[in-house]
């Protein structure tokens, strides 16, 4: 029980305090006035990294407080209508944009579950070649073998299994047919879903609660194990014993975590006193929070090294009825060109979603949309060599990112091959996301219409203090007790979707803090398939 | 040609949730796109036309009636999801 914060009885369904937790486990921690809370661990952010770390630590017997800026999103409020859901579930209505050539839309989640609430559910382990690169380049002690128990544990917790062809739907079948015809390597994706019925709106709030996002898996576990979870709490600073890191460093002391200072949506102030602080506010917000706290800047790498996996999508008009939103939107991949840094993954959605991403205008747009039932769509994702940065401007993130020529070439190749894929599948017409008359081979940076879903690297791990913000144990260099457990810790582009990597690293951190070996899973992989 | 009219309520909610700069930009584009002369003007700047298209079509095709004619019944999807969730005791 917090010293001054209020722990109310389970909610009665009538009153719903805004600055409170209000989620399936049923307990309400509401903070209406300024409060002081003490705990052993304070976790900032309840997304992929934060929720996992909080649950493992609480179950391991530690006294944990989670502070999350967003709220619990009640699935009863999910309407499957994109404009409403973009406004409700995404930070800034999904309108986070990078500055650069070309600008890139970078949607982020906010609330219990963080971005896992609105992600597609695709689950990949970190590829072995990436882990080897991390060992060589960043001096990190990670390998397939050492991370295996972490992945097993996360996969079991989230019911990860391969999508069946029936659930994958006709959109995936179009891509499968094309890839098979061309002899390209492909397969059905593994996802964290349980009881999925292929309703096609993963990115707009799963109305079935089939997607096992961390807000309905790890967060309730954390709470059952005694963690206190405070929503609507924006952490402003990480606090250190005896003041700021820079002054202590100047005095040759080693700064030690004291806790955090947060502000509730109501304006109330909250201070959490905790000797261990785990920052998991996501790749865009973690570096800003560390910078506000005068932490992690010594290497010059804070806010740098931003990779994004920029992506675009191609539409095709098929002979057959596709009904792209009938089925799991991201259920199938083509990895024939993964070695070149190009991967194709399914994307799809209801008419409103398709209409906003269809790269046509005027009468052609209307005509293609009238045939929505025959539209297929697939995504091109690039494992980027480009690197951007994030810094604060008037309290908001200013994200800079320019695509390199090498990545532009990857998009040219990816778009040309995607057209080939659809043609091999029998498309009547292919709609590339390029201006009229521009072929993939001649596409310029400004011709590309890009989005990105996987920001990583802005507080990267590197064993050497001069090269990274955090060390191999994810502790901020030069400080005791402040750790990072989110996408910002991931030191390089992965080439695959990152949530499993982030969760596995958070698991490893939690067990490290508990001083225990990670217990993997005994579960039969086949039996884990619930999709 | 589809006949649905843009759903103003959801468009307004969507635009209101964006950061100040994007909000102002989207409002200006939508206002232009709604006027015949504005639409002609937009046609001369492909990037702006594409952006206006994104915003207005997001709202237009959110119309449940139009969606249903295109084979998508969002309300049925939600109702089924909620029923399954309750039946299986999910959060
Ligand atoms: C549309 C979409 C689809 C995706 N699909 C996939 C997929 O299929 N597979 C996959 O692997 N990945 C996918 N991703 C990416 C994946 O979801 C993210 O990489 C992952 O969730 C990032 O985890 P995180 O812990 O770094 O941050 P997040 O999950 O974003 O969590 C960060 C949390 O911190 C909170 N926060 C921020 N600042 C503060 C503060 N100051 N105080 C308190 N709280 C704060 C935020 O509100 C947020 O809830 C997708 C992303 C998007 C946008
Ligand atoms: S496809 Fe499955 S996981 Fe996605 S929203 Fe529908 S039921 Fe949920």
List, for residues A92-138, the tens digit of each pLDDT value.
Answer: 999 999 999 999 999 999 999 999 999 999 999 999 999 999 999 99
pLDDT on residue B9: 79
Closest CA to A497 of A213, A194, A189, A86: A189
DSSP summary character for residue A189: P
Residue B45 within a domain: yes
Contacts of B49 (CB under 8 A, 6+ apart): A361, A362, B42, B43
Domains: count for chain B: 1
Closest CA to A68 of A277, A232, A270: A232
Tokens of A399: 């994200």
Interface membership of B5 toward A (CB under 8 Å): no
> Is pLDDT above 90 for A460?
yes
Ligand number nearest CA of A201 is 2
- CA trace torsion B45, B47, B51, B53 (10° rounding): 60
Note if A454 is an active site residue: yes
Given a contact cutoff of 8 angstroms between Cβ atoms, the answer to whether A461 and A489 are in contact is: yes
Of B14, B49, B62, the CB nearest to A93: B14
Residues of B in contact with A436 (CB under 8 A): 46
Q: How far is CA A489 from CA A20, A164, A278, A493, B63, in A?
A: 29, 33, 12, 11, 42
Rounded-to-integer distance, Cα A36 and Cα A274, Å: 11
Closest CA to A67 of A11, A1, A114: A114
Please give the backbone phi and psi of residue A393, each rounded to the nearest 5 degrees, phi first.
-135, 115
- Predicted confidence band of residue A35 (pLDDT cuts 50, 70, 90): confident
Residues of A in contact with B15 (CB under 8 A): 93
pLDDT on residue B40: 85
Percentage of residues in chain B having pLDDT higher than 90: 44
Give the gap in angstroms from C-alpha A93 to the nearest C-alpha of chain B. Answer: 5
Interface membership of B77 toward A (CB under 8 Å): yes
Rounded-to-integer distance, Cα A205 and Cα A87, Å: 12
Q: What are A313-363's pLDDT values in tens digits?
A: 999 999 999 999 999 999 999 999 999 999 999 999 999 999 999 999 889
Residue B17 within a domain: yes
pLDDT on residue A29: 63
Tell me which of A120-129, A443-452, A494-503, B30-39 is least confident.
B30-39
> Is pLDDT above 70 for A286?
yes
Distance A499 CA to ligand 1 centre (A): 8
Interface membership of A352 toward B (CB under 8 Å): yes
pLDDT on residue A24: 46
Closest CA to A69 of A231, A224, A182: A231
Residues of B in contact with A88 (CB under 8 A): 17
Q: What are A425-450's pLDDT values in tens digits?
A: 999 999 999 998 999 999 999 999 99
* Residue B42 lies in domain: 8-87
Interface membership of B4 toward A (CB under 8 Å): no
Rounded-to-integer distance, Cα A334 and Cα A344, Å: 5
Give the gap in angstroms from C-alpha B28 to the nearest C-alpha of chain A. Answer: 16
Tokens of A295: 């932490």
Q: What are A464-490's pLDDT values in tens digits?
A: 999 999 999 999 999 999 999 999 999
Please give the backbone phi and psi of residue A154, each rounded to the nearest 5 degrees, phi first.
-65, -45
Chain A 274-303, residues with CB within 8 Å of chain B CB atoms: none
Rounded-to-integer distance, Cα A126 and Cα A147, Å: 9
- Predicted confidence band of residue B42 (pLDDT cuts 50, 70, 90): confident
Interface membership of A13 toward B (CB under 8 Å): no
Tokens of A67: 């502070």
Q: Where are the beta strands (DSSP E) in A302-452?
A: 310-317, 332-334, 342-346, 375-382, 389-393, 396-400, 429-431, 450-452
User: What is the ipTM for the molecules in this complex?
Assistant: 0.89
Minimum CA distance residue for ligand 2 atom 3: A211
Geometric angle at alpha carbon A120, from A378 and B23, rounded to 5°: 85
Report CB contact under 8 Å: A370, B2.
Answer: yes
Percentage of residues in chain A having pLDDT higher than 70: 90
pLDDT on residue A522: 60
Residues of A in contact with B61 (CB under 8 A): 350-352, 354-356, 369
Q: List, chain by chain if needed, residues with CB within 6 Å of any ligand 1 atom.
A: A 44-50, 67-70, 107-111, 114-116, 118-122, 203, 234-235, 280-283, 285, 289, 330, 453-454, 486-487, 497-500, 502
Mean pLDDT for A198-214 is 98
Given a contact cutoff of 8 angstroms between Cβ atoms, the answer to whether A518 and A164 are in contact is: no
What structural domains does chain A harbor?
1-73+109-119+124-157+213-305+456-523 (3.50.50.60), 163-190+310-382+404-449 (3.30.410)
Contacts of B22 (CB under 8 A, 6+ apart): A92, A95, A97
pLDDT on residue A250: 47
Mean pLDDT for A157-182 is 98
Report CB contact under 8 Å: A200, B55.
Answer: no
Handedness of CA B77, B78, B79, B82 (dihedral sign): positive
Q: How many CB pairs under 8 A join A and B?
A: 153
Helix (H) or strand (E) holding A240: strand A233-240
Minimum CA distance residue for ligand 1 atom 15: A454
- Predicted confidence band of residue A246 (pLDDT cuts 50, 70, 90): low
> Is pLDDT above 50 for A179?
yes
Of B7, B18, B43, the CB nearest to A93: B18
Compute the mean pLDDT over every residue in chain A, rounded to the nearest whole number. 91
- Predicted confidence band of residue B43 (pLDDT cuts 50, 70, 90): confident
pLDDT on residue A245: 56
| SS3 state of residue A321 | coil
Rounded-to-integer distance, Cα A247 and Cα A242, Å: 9
Q: List, chain by chain if needed, residues with CB within 6 Å of any ligand 2 atom.
A: A 121, 193, 196-202, 206, 208, 210-211, 328
- Strand pairing class (A228-231; A64-68): parallel
Residue B2 within a domain: no
Taking the model in full, what pTM does it have? Answer: 0.94
pLDDT on residue A3: 30
pLDDT on residue B67: 96
Interface membership of A86 toward B (CB under 8 Å): yes
Residue B3 within a domain: no
Tell me which of A213-222, A330-339, B54-63 is least confident.
B54-63
Interface membership of A327 toward B (CB under 8 Å): no
pLDDT on residue B50: 80
DSSP summary character for residue A295: -
- Predicted confidence band of residue A453 (pLDDT cuts 50, 70, 90): very high
- By the 10 Å C-beta count (0-12 exposed, 13-18 middle, 19+ buried), A1 is classed as exposed
Of B7, B18, B85, the CB nearest to A75: B85
B8, closest residue in chain A (CA to CA): A83
In sequence order, the β-bridge partners of residue A65 are A42, A228
Closest CA to A331 of A113, A161, A501: A161
Residue B1 within a domain: no
In sequence order, the β-bridge partners of residue A389 are A400
pLDDT on residue A322: 98
pLDDT on residue A307: 98
Kindly give the number of the ligand 1 atom that is closest to the alpha carbon of A124: 11
Question: Cis ω on the peptide bond leading into residue A203 (within 30° of 0)?
Answer: no
Of A84, A323, A361, the CB nearest to B13: A84
> Is pLDDT above 50 for B45?
yes
Ligand number nearest CA of A495 is 1
- Predicted confidence band of residue A25 (pLDDT cuts 50, 70, 90): very low
Mean pLDDT for A170-185 is 98
> Is pLDDT above 70 for A247?
no
3-state secondary structure B20-85: HHHHHHHHHHHHHHHCHHHHHHHHCCHHHHHHHHHHHHHHHCCCHHHHHHCCCCHHHHHHHHHHHH
> Is pLDDT above 90 for A18?
no
Q: What are A382-397's pLDDT values in tens digits?
A: 999 999 999 999 989 9
pLDDT on residue A15: 35
**Residue of A186, A285, A309, A454 marked catalytic:** A454
Contacts of B71 (CB under 8 A, 6+ apart): A321, A323, A326, A372, A373
Closest CA to A498 of A220, A307, A353: A307
pLDDT on residue A308: 98
Helix (H) or strand (E) holding A259: strand A257-264
């Amino acid at each position: 029980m917090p010293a001054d914060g209020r722990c109310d009885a389970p909610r009665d369904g009538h009153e719903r305090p805004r600055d409170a937790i209000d989620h399936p486990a049923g307990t309400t921690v509401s903070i209406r006035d300024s409060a002081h809370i003490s705990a052993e661990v304070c976790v900032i952010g309840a997304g992929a990294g934060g929720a996992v770390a909080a649950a493992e630590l609480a179950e391991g017997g530690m006294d944990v407080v989670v502070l999350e800026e967003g709220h619990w999103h009640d699935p009863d409020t999910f309407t499957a209508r994109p404009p409403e859901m973009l406004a409700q579930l995404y930070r800034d209505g999904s309108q986070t944009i990078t500055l650069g050539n070309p600008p890139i839309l970078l949607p982020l989640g906010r609330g219990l579950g963080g971005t896992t609430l609105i992600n597609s559910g695709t689950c990949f382990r970190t590829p072995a070649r990436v882990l080897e690169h991390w060992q060589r380049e960043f001096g990190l002690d990670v390998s397939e073998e050492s991370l295996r128990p972490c992945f097993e544990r996360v996969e079991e917790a989230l019911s990860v299994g391969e999508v069946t062809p029936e659930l994958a739907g006709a959109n995936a079948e179009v891509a499968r047919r094309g890839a098979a015809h061309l002899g390209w390597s492909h397969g059905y994706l593994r996802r964290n879903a349980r009881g999925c019925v292929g309703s096609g709106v993963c990115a707009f709030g799963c109305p079935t609660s089939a997607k096992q996002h961390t807000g309905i898996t790890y967060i309730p576990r954390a709470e059952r194990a005694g963690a206190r979870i405070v929503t609507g709490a924006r952490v402003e600073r990480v606090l250190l014993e005896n003041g700021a890191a820079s002054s202590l460093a100047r005095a040759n002391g080693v700064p030690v975590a004291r806790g955090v200072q947060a502000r509730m949506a109501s304006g109330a102030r909250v201070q959490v006193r905790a000797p261990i602080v785990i920052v998991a506010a996501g790749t865009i917000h973690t570096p800003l929070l560390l910078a506000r706290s005068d932490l992690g800047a010594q290497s010059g790498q804070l806010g740098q090294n931003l990779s994004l996996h920029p992506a675009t999508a191609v539409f095709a008009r098929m002979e057959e009825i596709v009904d792209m939103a009938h089925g799991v939107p991201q259920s199938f991949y083509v990895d024939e060109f993964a070695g070149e840094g190009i991967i194709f993954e399914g994307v799809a959605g209801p008419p409103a979603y398709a209409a906003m991403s269809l790269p046509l205008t005027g009468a052609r747009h209307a005509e293609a949309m009238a045939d929505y039932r025959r539209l297929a769509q697939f995504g091109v994702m690039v494992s980027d060599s480009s690197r951007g940065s994030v810094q604060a401007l008037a309290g908001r993130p200013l994200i800079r990112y320019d695509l390199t020529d090498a990545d532009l070439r990857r998009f040219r190749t990816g778009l040309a091959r995607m057209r080939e894929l659809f043609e091999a599948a029998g498309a009547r017409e292919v709609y590339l996301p390029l201006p009229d008359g521009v072929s993939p081979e001649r596409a310029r940076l400004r011709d590309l219409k890009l989005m990105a879903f996987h920001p990583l690297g802005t507080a990267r791990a590197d064993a050497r203090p001069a090269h990274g913000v955090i060390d191999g144990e994810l502790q901020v260099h030069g400080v005791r007790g402040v750790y990072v457990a989110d996408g910002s810790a991931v030191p390089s582009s992965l080439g695959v979707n990152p949530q499993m990597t982030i969760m596995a690293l958070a698991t490893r951190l939690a067990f490290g803090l508990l001083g225990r070996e990670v217990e993997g899973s005994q579960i039969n992989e086949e039996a884990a398939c619930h999709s | 040609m589809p006949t649905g009219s843009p759903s103003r309520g959801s468009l307004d909610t969507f635009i209101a949730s964006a950061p100040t700069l994007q909000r102002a930009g989207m409002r200006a584009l939508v206002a232009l796109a709604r006027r015949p002369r504005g639409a002609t003007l937009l046609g001369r700047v492909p990037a702006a036309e594409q952006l206006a298209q994104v915003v207005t079509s997001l709202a237009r095709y959110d119309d449940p009636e139009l969606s249903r004619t295109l084979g998508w019944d969002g309300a049925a999807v939600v109702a089924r999801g909620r029923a399954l969730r309750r039946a299986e005791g999910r959060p």
